[in-house]
């Protein structure tokens, strides 16, 4: 019987010893889980702050790029101001026209530097990716040929900035029997 008691006591002691490491293991796992949760929360907060910072930086960069673009056009504005001031003072139309021509050439140069080119329109075939048809009329030209450009379109490095606004040919007018008779009945 003593043996049975000893076995029972040993079994209880072993169970207690096993429970202690299990409890300790559970406590450690809980701490580890809490550590991961805390780390995840910190990473989420850092990521949110990163997103906000990137958005701020992008907005700032867009503004600086826009400022550079505007700076390129300020000399044109200054030259136009000077041209108008000089014209009102002496009424010399020829020098005023020459000044405006120089400003136009300067403006054209800036557009070229920025990769902006006009879209060819008049006399070419209508392309809906490049042209916007405002009018379609019968003419002696083949169908879909651009007859007139109302507003010039522009490309920037192959991408359409603004389509050309154009008048397009429907083709030759179909003669009716009435037209052949000269309108007589």
Provide the residue ranges of all domains of the chain, joining segments of one domain with +: 20-114, 117-173
Please determine, for residue 185, whether its predicted confidence score (pLDDT) is greater than 50. no
Lowest mean pLDDT, pick from 17-31, 48-62, 76-90, 161-175: 76-90
Please determine, for residue 76, whether its predicted confidence score (pLDDT) is greater than 90. no
The whole-number pLDDT of residue 19 equals 64
Q: Is the dihedral of CA 107, 112, 115, 121 positive or negative?
A: positive
As a CATH number, domain 20-114 is 3.90.20
In angstroms, what CA-CA distances link 21 with 25, 28, 34, 39, 179?
A: 6, 10, 20, 26, 108
CA atoms within 13 A on the CB side of 178: 2
* 181 — pLDDT class (breaks 50, 70, 90): low
CATH fold for domain 117-173: Nucleotide Exchange Factor Grpe; Chain A, domain 2 (2.30.22)
- Asked if 20-114 and 117-173 have one fold, the answer is no
The whole-number pLDDT of residue 70 equals 79
The CA distance from 53 to 27, in Å, is: 39
Please determine, for residue 153, whether its predicted confidence score (pLDDT) is greater than 90. yes
Percentage of the chain exceeding pLDDT 70: 81
* 31 — pLDDT class (breaks 50, 70, 90): very high
The whole-number pLDDT of residue 10 equals 63
Q: Which residue has the higher pLDDT, 94 or 136?
A: 136
> Pairing state of beta strands 131-138 and 164-171?
parallel
* 90 — pLDDT class (breaks 50, 70, 90): low
Per-residue buried b or exposed e for 49-77, using 16+ beta carbons within 10 Å of the residue's own CB: eeeeeeeeeeeeeeeeeeeeeeeeeeeee
Average pLDDT score over residue span 23-34? 92
The whole-number pLDDT of residue 95 equals 79
Average pLDDT score over residue span 29-51? 96
Average pLDDT score over residue span 73-94? 78
* 134 — pLDDT class (breaks 50, 70, 90): very high
Q: Which residue has the higher pLDDT, 160 or 92?
A: 160
């Amino acid at each position: 019987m003593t043996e049975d008691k000893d076995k029972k006591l040993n079994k209880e002691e072993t169970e207690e010893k096993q429970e202690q490491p299990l409890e300790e293991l559970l406590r450690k796992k809980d701490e580890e889980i809490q550590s991961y949760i805390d780390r995840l929360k910190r990473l989420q907060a850092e990521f949110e702050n990163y997103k906000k910072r990137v958005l701020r930086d992008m907005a700032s960069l867009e503004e600086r790029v826009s400022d550079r673009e505007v700076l390129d056009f300020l000399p044109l504005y200054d030259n136009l101001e000077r041209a108008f001031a000089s014209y009102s003072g002496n009424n010399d139309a020829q020098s005023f026209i020459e000044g405006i021509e120089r400003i136009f050439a300067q403006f054209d140069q800036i557009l070229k530097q920025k990769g902006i080119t006009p879209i060819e329109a008049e006399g070419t075939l209508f392309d809906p990716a490049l042209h916007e048809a405002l009018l379609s009329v019968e003419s002696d030209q083949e169908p879909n040929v651009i007859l007139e450009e109302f507003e010039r379109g522009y490309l920037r490095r192959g991408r359409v900035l603004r389509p050309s606004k154009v008048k397009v040919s429907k083709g030759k007018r179909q003669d009716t029997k009435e037209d052949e008779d000269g309108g007589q009945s």
